[in-house]
Amino acid sequence: MRTLVTGAAGFIGFHLCRRLIEEGDEVVGLDSINDYYDPELKYGRLAELGLGREEAEVEAAGRSVAARGRFPSFSFRRAALEDRSAMESLASEGRFDRVCNLAAQAGVRYSLENPRAYVEANVVGFLNVLELCRATGVGHLVFASSSSVYGLDESLPFSVHGGADHPVSLYAATKKADEMMAHAYAQLYGIPATGLRFFTVYGPWGRPDMAYFKFAKAISEGRPIDLYNGGDMLRDFTYIDDVVEGIVRVLGSPARGDPAWNPRSPDPASSSAPYRLYNLGNSSPERLETFIAAIEKALGGKAERRLLPMQSGDVRATAADVSDLERDFGWKPSTPLEAGIGRFAAWFKEYYSEEKSEALKRDPEAQR
């Protein structure tokens, strides 16, 4: 299979690329390597995929230029989804059997500060992905949505068959827009499209803007951690390996139209067009305190709590109903929280130990 993975230098995209390379796919990775969070982490992920920094930085105005690392089946293009000319150039290079769109402007709180970045990357950029799929006859588009789309809904666990029409952040609104745009292209052009609503993904090589990563950094540096809504939060924490396994299973099963779909009582999760939605979560929500305790245990430190009010755009609880995923694929996420946090903590300590060593090599005075 020739598979395009957007967001290849991102958290989930990196792990997916590695899995697909191991399985023998020809993988084309695309990423803008922006500075929403530390680009060094993104370069580090690409290095794990066999791509040196100089190769990862290759780019040319208005074009998508390929870079190859030590894995013959992996190539990388540095470009942003919203760069129409770069995406059209990529489309002209040949057909992809599958596209997995994981690139996005992420983060709920940042959407309050820079809303235009979300429309440009998540709406305009996703339109460019859809146009690439249409132009090249892609066999299956799998795209990242988010549990954030459930917004004001408090009917736990969240079901893809219920409504998701009351988002509380622009980030969530753009993800809902992506779902609707994908359905329109599935209907108009017959592009099989499957949306996956991710629930609080965590694990090695994770995103520094996520709460669990911030907690680990604060604990290791002896700083207090911020707990919003006084710490009264419930999250469906989902380990990265489970998320990748779910994506791979879905990628191999292109969406089909449901002949039993009823337009007089429309199900949001399916359609007469080749379109499907699934929740991808652990279906075992944990209280935030339980999560923090697992991080403290794994890192061998104690966190000082700083209790704060609820943040705008946030929700108190998330929980995934994954019965559709289990029915259609005979599988559901199952990594226990302590096991997942243990693996994240082991990576975290190793990564920042190596980072510190490299910093000292560059500046020996930094230790004084």
Q: What does the alpha-carbon distance between residue 79 and residue 83 come to, in Å, rounded to a whole number? A: 7
Neighbours of 311 (CB within 10 A): 14
Beta-strand pair 2-6/66-68: unpaired
CB 42 within 8 A of CB 30: no
CA distances 275 to 141, 184, 197, Å, are 10, 9, 14
3-state secondary structure of 193: strand
The residues pairing with 280 across neighbouring beta strands, listed in sequence order, are 198
Catalytic residue among 37, 150, 171, 239: 171
Helices (H), 158-239: 170-189, 211-221
Q: What does the alpha-carbon distance between residue 197 and residue 302 come to, in Å, rounded to a whole number? A: 33
Q: What does the alpha-carbon distance between residue 284 and residue 236 come to, in Å, rounded to a whole number? A: 6
**Single-letter amino acid, residue 314:** D
Q: What does the alpha-carbon distance between residue 165 and residue 156 come to, in Å, rounded to a whole number? A: 16
Residue whose tokens read 């150039």: 89
171 among known catalytic residues:
yes
Nearest CA to 336 among 266, 289, 286, 263? 286
Q: Could you give the residue numbers annotated as active site?
A: 171
